[in-house]
Structure 1
Amino acid sequence: MSIIEPEASIWYTCCVLVVFVRLISRRIHHGAWKNLQADDYIVMLGLMTDTVVYAVMHIVVRSSSNLIAPQDDASQFTAQEIASRVYGSKLVLVVEQMQIATTWLMKAALLLMYQRMTILLPQHLWVKVTVVYVALGFVVMEILYFGVWCRPFNQYWAVPPNSSQCNAATNHLITNAVFNISSDLMIIAIPLPLLWQVRIPRKNKFVLMGIFMIGLFTIAAAIMNKYYSFRNPFGTEWTIWYLRESFTAILCANLPLTYPLVQRVFKLRNWSAQSYGG
């Protein structure tokens, strides 16, 4: 069994179920599938990109890449081993980009939800500021990744590469951590005042607080995957933390919008439209 199993499959199954429940809940809330909103389609796309991360990571943990251990002599590699490392390096690139896509799509979905929830509230300005920061962070990070850190681009899978930025990718990992973690903190700060301003039962507020605490775990996972990437770049500990980050990001973005179906199944008390997020 893969070192990321069975945990990865459990997380992935939970994410698929939560997204499925969210979409049915949105159908109930809006009355028709055609009335789904932009963030609903964004989370579907995010689930697709995360499916790629989940599937490809199973291959990555069993593959070698152009990140060559100090005790290995690249000049002694056979043609077959070089080809295998080239293939593994390309898969690492795919995982990294699909991971970025998943996390940033979930940020976008959350911000669209908060945009509706805060339309008449002072927090709406903070939502706009966060949107600009999230978009700017994504653009800057991708420009640096594709056009600056590793040149020419095919050095990302060269064996051996001409720079450590093409295999260890230290500059990219730092840039990603800065924009990813800081934007997550900005997003998490948005709903905190709403928990005390929206008139819903206290027990429901605690439920919401629990859901958004998942966002803190997402940040912790982002920190841990970078920690292991730096501390033990030749190990595989970072792989499960990459998955945990993307999976918890999906849960955080979708759990708040699953209530209509949960309410119908368990006959729970109705929440206000404002608390649901439109």
Structure 2
Amino acid sequence: MGLTLTGTYNTRQLEIVIINSILVVLSVSAVFLRVWARRLQGLRLFIEDYLSIVALALALAVNALLFQSLHAGVGEHVDTLSAATVQEYSLNLYMMQLFWNTCLPVIKLSIVLFYQRIFPVPSMIFACRAVMLFLAAWYVAFQTTAIFQCVPIHHEWQKKTTTGHCIDFVPFVITLAATNLCTDVLLLVLPTREIWKLQIPWPRKIGLSIIFTLGVIVCTISIVRLENLIAISDSDITWSDTYSHLWTAIESSLGVVVSCLPSLMPIVRLVRDRKLRRSGKSFSRPQDGSSSYPSYVRPPYELSKLSNHVTSGGSRTRHRSGSSRSDLIQKAVGDIEIVTEINQQVESASQCGFET
């Protein structure tokens, strides 16, 4: 038994208190830093940034429900609980499903919009829109099923006092988790083709791939959560559901964190530049016509659908000196600089918040 601020819990429940508290700090910090990174670049927030804030609110709701579940019998054997406590657990589980079902598609929509913005080529735009349609269909299908899994709805948490019927819960949540894992894998491989088409050195290509495959963390969590869902026993659901409850919160919170990580590179560069200044080294860019501003505030570039220039809304055209045949443009993605050869002209971009 362990003593917490809210009472005396067994080992399983204490694990939930500690891990869930860490998740709250991580998710809130990630979104705060994401917004700060945009400010460092002097950029407005993009649609995906606003979606990350919405996803954070939904993830925090899942965290709050996980905390509340400790007082609804999670981590206790069901035969030791009162009928009222079991009813409270059932309502808690129902609400957590609805928030989790909404949080994950919002996170994924944020990621897809991010991909579409930094890889604005026809094939990627088509793929991203197809994924968005799939996410919308997935959400409507599973959220509708989750809401009406019992008829009447309140029979879900009042089975002993009302008459009604419900779908088989465990197969439903396993199907939901399995299809969610499929979308995780899809988002993981979606940008791979565009990354490996870039004409950049192998070390940079590998580094860039690592940035875009951080979602493997969420895929792993989805697999672990799926395993825990399969292990749920209807005969002692409040005990057997303990870790699937916890992994639900882990998946939603770390989903928010992972979706924010690529956008935090301006902060990494800020820390790096400060270290360089302390060591007496210059953080200026080479004298090749590029900016001498610190790297964390330099304007990024966004590839146009046209192959001969880099574009941005409301920007002005500037010509580089040198060969009239081609120029080298640095398109920043995080702390990795991709050098893309293009023809004739460059427009400074203020609309893209992701650098390489």
5 Å matches for 1:198-217? 198=198, 205-217=205-217
Higher strand share: 2
Deviation sequence 1:115-156 (CA, Å, 0-9, x none): 112222522211111111111111111122223x32111111
Deviation sequence 1:42-93 (CA, Å, 0-9, x none): 111111111111122022134238xx95xx59xxx8xxx3232222221112
> Which residue matches 1:134?
135
CA pair 171-201 structure 1, distance change in 2 beyond 3 A: same
> Which residue matches 2:288?
none
Structure 1 position 258 matched with structure 2 position 270:
no
> Which residue matches 1:246?
252
Inter-partner Cα distance in structure 1 for 2:117 and 2:145: 33
The answer to whether the 8 A contact 1:181-1:222 is kept is yes
> Which residue matches 1:26?
38
> Which residue matches 1:57?
66
Q: CA RMSD in A?
A: 2.9
Aligned AA (2:224): M
CA pair 207-24 structure 1, distance change in 2 beyond 3 A: farther
CA pair 9-131 structure 1, distance change in 2 beyond 3 A: same
How far is 1:113 from its partner?
0.5
Structure 1 position 45 matched with structure 2 position 51:
no
Inter-partner Cα distance in structure 2 for 1:245 and 1:44: 16
Matched residue count: 263
Inter-partner Cα distance in structure 2 for 1:205 and 1:58: 42
5 Å matches for 1:181-200? 181-198=181-198
Aligned AA (1:114): Y
Inter-partner Cα distance in structure 2 for 1:177 and 1:6: 25
TM-score by length of 2: 0.65
Q: Could you say what secondary structure the match of 1:3 adopts?
A: helix
Inter-partner Cα distance in structure 1 for 2:155 and 2:124: 45
Higher helix share: 1
CA pair 199-259 structure 1, distance change in 2 beyond 3 A: farther
5 Å matches for 1:231-242? 231-233=231-233, 234=237, 235=240, 236-242=242-248
Q: Which runs of 5+ in 2 are unaligned?
A: 5-13, 274-282, 284-294, 303-331, 334-351
Inter-partner Cα distance in structure 2 for 1:179 and 1:143: 15
Q: Which runs of 5+ in 1 are unaligned?
A: none
Aligned AA (1:228): N
Aligned AA (1:112): L
Q: Which has the higher contact order (CA 8 A, sep 6+)?
A: 1
Aligned AA (1:190): L
How far is 1:196 from its partner?
2.5
> Which residue matches 2:89?
88
Q: Which has the larger radius of gyration?
A: 2
